[in-house]
Structure 1
Amino acid sequence: MSDAVSADVLLRVGRELRGMSQLDVAVLYGIGERTYRRYEAQGSPIKYVDLTGIVADVFHLQLDDLYQIAKEHQ
């Protein structure tokens, strides 16, 4: 089993952990819902700065902590 966790999985796990909808995350981060949906569906690559911004500013988590949680859910 790989230790890698993709960005789309991190986003989904973080969002579900916080009980948020995709629209909630998009609005709080200031992006379109469609853009966020694509990030979770691997339809669009996400910049590292946006990934870390969503994790910190919207989910109120450290990326390392979310990574560990996401690994346990795989």
Structure 2
Amino acid sequence: MKNKFILCFLTLIFLTLSGCTTNNQTKKISSDLNSLKDKVENISEETQSIQTDLQNTKEEAVRANQRLDNQVHKYKK
């Protein structure tokens, strides 16, 4: 009887401690996941900024090419 009581008590302690460990691991994983989400958002914002800069650069290149084409036409006349 005493052995069964000790065995049940040790099992209860083990399960309680393993539950705490799992909870800490869950909190750490949740924290890591939130950190990764923040990084993804930052990368997404940077990508959007780069795409905007790229579009502006393309527009400037088109305008510069038009100016050069206009200069060439003037010299041909």
Greater helix fraction, Structure 1 or Structure 2: 2
Using structure 2 for the length normalisation, give the TM-score. 0.18
TM-score of the two chains, using structure 1 as the length reference: 0.18
Rg bigger for which structure?
2
